[in-house]
Structure 1
Amino acid sequence: MGIESHLPDWNALDWSRLATLDDDALPLLPTALLIARDEYPGLDPQPYEALVQAHADHLRTEVAAIEQQPLKMAAINRHLFDELGYSGNHDEYYDPRNSYLNQVLDRRLGNPISLAMVQMEVARRLGIPLDGVSFPGHFLVRLPVDGGLLVMDPFNGGRPLAVEELRERAKPHLGETPDDGVLLQILSPAPHRAILVRVLRNLHGLYAGTQQWDRAARCADRVLKLVPEQSEALRDRGLAYLELDYLPGARQDLARYLELAPEASDVDQIRERLIEAAGTRAPLH
């Protein structure tokens, strides 16, 4: 028994309507594959949907016979990471293919967030409410168990993480060791929109770092399709447009960024770039 009745109409899914969907209605796997279609225009999502469903169907009988949720997750992790060979790409962490879900499913290599999406999709099809966690640094997953949380690292075979390790992982990003309240807040479930935006921001960073400005602009534009007028995405698209000599778009985006984020730390730098986009020089004093 699958979840075919809950699947979206793949042909009807497009960027023009995603911003209007509530987070709960925004499909994770189809939208992740929509992101991949930008880079792989001939991508057919159906085989990848079928593959994920096959992973779940293979596990269905085994998982149904297990009573405790942590042991159910252990069976899922064993199949995905040990038997099927999904793994974190430690050798080429910054390869963009690690972020495109079709490539992750083909190569069984990925980064933390793409492997988390595979893990989540399979677990949820088996009735296990696995959520993503936008943890500082590496993306994680979480499962409520017995009044607590089982937190796992999909980049490292779904390994469970103890509270002290979570504190140590968070400390460099926060500047201090988080107390219980802060840690619980960090471990809040990530909505689908936040997950997909993080995928796109990761890709933007990779492409900007290698000066592939057309792809960088595309990724920032896709963020804006999910979250219209997100200030950072407007800035990123505007700067990419500037590199591509698309000055009208650069002026519009950077000016809007300054309106939305007047207290941002980079406003002086962006004003200088906006002057550059306007084709004028600042007066000398």
Structure 2
Amino acid sequence: MTTVSKNEKTEFIINEQFDFAEHSLVDAAISVESELTGLNVAEFHKTLRLQHLVLQSQLSDFDLVDKAKLLKLIDCLYQQQAFKGDWKAFFKVENALVSNVLSRRKGIPISLGVLLLDFLKESQFDAQGICFPSGFIIRVNIEDETLYIDPFTGELASRNLLELKLRGQLGNHARLSPEMLEPDDNKTIIMRLINVIKAAYVQEESLEQALLCCDMLLRIDPNDAYEVRDRGFLFQQLDCLNLARTDFEFFIDHYPQDPIVGLLKRQIRQIDIDTPTQVVH
């Protein structure tokens, strides 16, 4: 059961020194969201605590942490409470933000997965998240059995189904390997979540918010040249041309043989032409 002290949450700054092992995945996700949207963390945890109590009541008849209890938990969430993947608006920001997913009960694999992992662990299951190529999945270890849950549908996924999903994402020659089913740590999962949120902001042309996502990712990994490159494209779209040039040059210095280098050099030449009319931010 969740204790009072566990739910008296404050915002954490996500950066290179952040101890992802010390904090829960949902705490880290909500800290990201509070920085992006100004979410009231305490109010979110009140809502989350209520969900914990509902599940605790629904699962009170189960003495063992077994497959029957797992199926009941999934039924409570995906049938009785109608949590589900949002097929119609997959790439919307509201589907990537965990607090919105909790209130709307609709989302995408990684945002639903962050919540489902929290519910599973609150219910004493041994569960881990996996940044699977075709979408986030959850591994649950029950006695001698390993089960996989697709948080987008709430269905148990067989290895055959996972390989079909993999081929749909990577092509017919792709094959499922044991390494693909190894769990990821909280840091890796949070970075993937931030990248998904960033892509959603870019799609809806909220470039300043996307830039905040870049900033968070680079606070976690300051030497990620690919993220610096992506930030450069955002700076360019925001007419911060000198900043864009600096980021493009950083990437070129680190990956001079990358296929995109030719494009970046052309962008730099265009920036040199446009710099006199630069907008200062």
Mapping for residues 159-174 of structure 1, pairs under 5 Å: 159-174=155-170
In the alignment, the residues of structure 2 paired with residue 70 and residue 277 of structure 1 have an alpha-carbon distance, to the nearest angstrom, of: 59
User: What amino acid sits opposite 2:156 in the alignment?
Assistant: P
Contact 1:217 1:236 in 2 (8 A): no
- Alignment match, 1:114: 111
In the alignment, the residues of structure 2 paired with residue 64 and residue 224 of structure 1 have an alpha-carbon distance, to the nearest angstrom, of: 46
In the alignment, the residues of structure 1 paired with residue 104 and residue 248 of structure 2 have an alpha-carbon distance, to the nearest angstrom, of: 38
- Alignment match, 1:218: 212
In the alignment, the residues of structure 2 paired with residue 126 and residue 106 of structure 1 have an alpha-carbon distance, to the nearest angstrom, of: 20
In the alignment, the residues of structure 1 paired with residue 233 and residue 3 of structure 2 have an alpha-carbon distance, to the nearest angstrom, of: 42
Helix, strand or coil at the partner of 1:23: coil
User: What amino acid sits opposite 1:81 in the alignment?
Assistant: Y
Runs (5+) with no aligned partner, structure 2: 276-281
- Alignment match, 1:10: 10
- Alignment match, 2:71: 74
Alpha-carbon displacement from aligned partner over 1:122-179 (angstroms, at most 9, x marks no partner): 11122212111111122111112344420111111x2001111111111243442415
- The two structures have a TM-score, normalised by structure 1, of 0.86
Shift of 1:4: 4.4
User: What amino acid sits opposite 1:221 in the alignment?
Assistant: D
Q: Aligned residue pairs: how many?
A: 273
Mapping for residues 173-252 of structure 1, pairs under 5 Å: 173-175=169-171, 176-179=173-176, 182=177, 184-252=178-246
Contact 1:217 1:237 in 2 (8 A): yes
Alpha-carbon displacement from aligned partner over 1:171-201 (angstroms, at most 9, x marks no partner): 243442415xx2x211111211221211221
Contact 1:63 1:72 in 2 (8 A): no
Alignment partner for residue 272 of structure 1, among 266, 274, 281?
A: 266
Contact 2:25 2:186 in 1 (8 A): yes
Alignment partner for residue 147 of structure 2, among 150, 153, 156?
A: 150
In the alignment, the residues of structure 1 paired with residue 69 and residue 221 of structure 2 have an alpha-carbon distance, to the nearest angstrom, of: 35
User: What amino acid sits opposite 1:142 in the alignment?
Assistant: R
- The two structures have a TM-score, normalised by structure 2, of 0.87
Contact 1:63 1:126 in 2 (8 A): no
In the alignment, the residues of structure 2 paired with residue 9 and residue 45 of structure 1 have an alpha-carbon distance, to the nearest angstrom, of: 7
RMSD: 2.4
Identity of aligned residues (%): 20
Alpha-carbon displacement from aligned partner over 1:26-71 (angstroms, at most 9, x marks no partner): 4322222233234432x21112222223322333362572425322
Mapping for residues 24-103 of structure 1, pairs under 5 Å: 24-41=21-38, 43-60=39-56, 62=59, 65-103=62-100
Helix, strand or coil at the partner of 1:144: strand
